[in-house]
Chains A and B, each alone.
Chain A
């Protein structure tokens, strides 16, 4: 079994990562550091090259997170998924069957979250395993 944490290098994601590392260590679980890298705005023009740029931006952050976990004595693996952040965690949920998801609450204000949606509430709605939302 494993834990999966959604990570994009942002402030909120860092908090989630710290909580997830501590939890994975206590539970002696593998930690999956999951990052969605699909360009926002849908398919179409110059999609792949945009994704490449995003991967270049995010892969080091994910690697860094994995190293951090390993230094804390946690077996960790970084996974980039061709999907949005919610879709990435859903994919991992399906394929790796983790026992819990860990995500940050996000940095968007309440109004923006209400208008455009935020990762945490969407995940809670769609997940069939526990979701830990870190403030």
Chain B
């Protein structure tokens, strides 16, 4: 630094305009991309658990809610505005932290291919090009192109304006709700396809389908809510005064749940589980077929919503992965090379491109060797999500451990809740691993090395992570000297046992 100049001191920008109720709801929806999530997982979930699909979607929300509480409380005391990598390192030391960071970066790698695949297929379907959409090679080429485009958008740091995003998010949900209402109406008036069923309370019972199917279904359910926790945090960050963000978080959660359950029920009422089982080979396409079945010539509304949602969620998926990689590089957990930023675009350009490159390789290889590439990747992705979510839940209780017994609120919300959420997810992980080690339970009955493909993918990524972690440990970077600590009571309100004044 040149002499005579001040050290860099960043001054805060003007406060953003107060976020309105509708915008806050939109933020809550944006993080989960409901249309894309539904298109990606609803088919497989119904195939797995049949009429218990709504129940499974409802049940997966429970661990999500408990883990979101961990995110909320960790976010509040971490001045880094960090995420699992920062928190877990601080609470439980570098080994756990490293694996948490690795899991997040890998979720980015796994999801990008799926986003692009769904984006391309639904765009083609929207224009009535069903034959092109069924052409795997063409879809793959276009999807790789789309990944490059989406990555470039992330690298140049372009954001849709807040208003456009709000409109897209609301339009997405409106399209889904129209679809659900029409489908329910047709089902209720007996105009569903043969095999369609009328709803019973049993549909809300997640245990109706047996544990093997349940664990796989719940994992996909966790994927459907993935990202929801950041909505809770963002809403809090943008808070000025009023209770708008808090209320909006509740409303957007309610909208999300209602949309998921509504669409699941609608699909069952319109076409029934048999139809989906018959079309099991084309998970996400099934959703397109159903949309057309329900809305006829207006089916493109739903297809458009899904395509937009897939492309728009790039920012909420690639950015966290690349920022985590940057954060790991800055703390010397991985080579400094990955921490380079573009000064022109103000983005972690190097790690973003790496996420994309690995994602493309992954997507192409997976498409070539797996018959259900999308499903296998998503399930493997869900394993990673469950892993880093449970790690976060435990880290929350560990980090706050000295304050947990000081008030009922902190015991239940900061300690017990996140730990129960973590235990549920670990249980789910364990159960899924056991189930998936028997290929007969796998979705397409495919077996790799005698194991279900998603499990092989999961084990492969974990092993790779451990190899890199040990390499980093051997390189003896300063990161490995970081020691676990506890939360600073000065950052915690008195009502939760802290000293904040």
B-binding residues in A (CB < 8 A): 8-10, 36-64, 66-67, 70, 78-84, 87-88, 90-91, 94, 107, 116
**Residues B1-19 near A (CB distance < 8 A):** 1-2, 4-14
**Residues B225-278 near A (CB distance < 8 A):** 230, 233-234, 237-238
Query: When the two chains form the complex, which single residue of B9, B14, B320 contacts A83, counting CB atoms closer than 8 Å?
Result: B14
A-binding residues in B (CB < 8 A): 1-2, 4-14, 79-83, 85-86, 154, 156-159, 230, 233-234, 237-238, 315, 319-320, 323-324, 326-327, 330-331, 339-341, 343-348
Query: When the two chains form the complex, which single residue of A9, A40, A107 contacts B159, counting CB atoms closer than 8 Å?
Result: A40
Contact in complex: B8, A55 (CB < 8 Å): yes
Q: Which residues of B contact A84 (CB under 8 A)?
A: 346
Provided the pairs A41-B347, A46-B326 are in contact, do residues A57 and B9 lie with their beta carbons within 8 angstroms?
A: no
B interface majority secondary structure? loop
Rounded to whole Å, the gap between the CB of B392 and the closest CB of chain A is 12
Query: When the two chains form the complex, which single residue of B5, B8, B345 contacts A40, counting CB atoms closer than 8 Å?
Result: B345
Give bound CA distance, A78 to B9, whole Å.
10
Query: When the two chains form the complex, which single residue of B5, B315, B343 contacts A58, counting CB atoms closer than 8 Å?
Result: B343
- In the complex, what residue of chain A is closest to B323 when comparing beta carbons? A46
- In the complex, what residue of chain A is closest to B6 when comparing beta carbons? A78
Q: Which residues of B contact A10 (CB under 8 A)?
A: 343-344
Give bound CA distance, A37 to B340, whole Å.
14
Contact in complex: A91, B344 (CB < 8 Å): no
Give bound CA distance, A10 to B12, whole Å.
23
Q: Which residues of A contact B158 (CB under 8 A)?
A: 40, 116
Contact in complex: A41, B326 (CB < 8 Å): no
Query: When the two chains form the complex, which single residue of B5, B9, B346 contacts A39, counting CB atoms closer than 8 Å?
Result: B346
Q: Which residues of B contact A63 (CB under 8 A)?
A: 1-2, 5
Q: Can you list 5 pairs linking A and B with CB atoms under 8 Å apart?
A: A44-B234, A46-B81, A49-B82, A59-B8, A78-B5
Contact in complex: B156, A116 (CB < 8 Å): yes
Contact in complex: A9, B157 (CB < 8 Å): no
Interface centre among A9, A45, A56, A78 (most CB of B within 10 A): A45
Contact in complex: B79, A48 (CB < 8 Å): yes
Contact in complex: A45, B324 (CB < 8 Å): yes
Give bound CA distance, A134 to B290, whole Å.
55
Give bound CA distance, A37 to B237, whole Å.
19
- In the complex, what residue of chain A is closest to B321 when comparing beta carbons? A45
Q: Which residues of A contact B85 (CB under 8 A)?
A: 46
Contact in complex: A45, B83 (CB < 8 Å): yes
Give bound CA distance, A41 to B345, whole Å.
10
Contact in complex: A44, B82 (CB < 8 Å): no
Given contacts A41-B159, A45-B320, A58-B343, 6 further A-B contacts (CB under 8 A): A9-B343, A39-B323, A40-B347, A46-B85, A48-B82, A50-B348
Q: Which residues of A contact B234 (CB under 8 A)?
A: 43-44
Contact in complex: B230, A88 (CB < 8 Å): no
Query: When the two chains form the complex, which single residue of B9, B14, B154, B347 contacts A80, counting CB atoms closer than 8 Å?
Result: B9
Provided the pairs A8-B343, A42-B315, A59-B1 are in contact, do residues A53 and B326 lie with their beta carbons within 8 angstroms?
A: yes
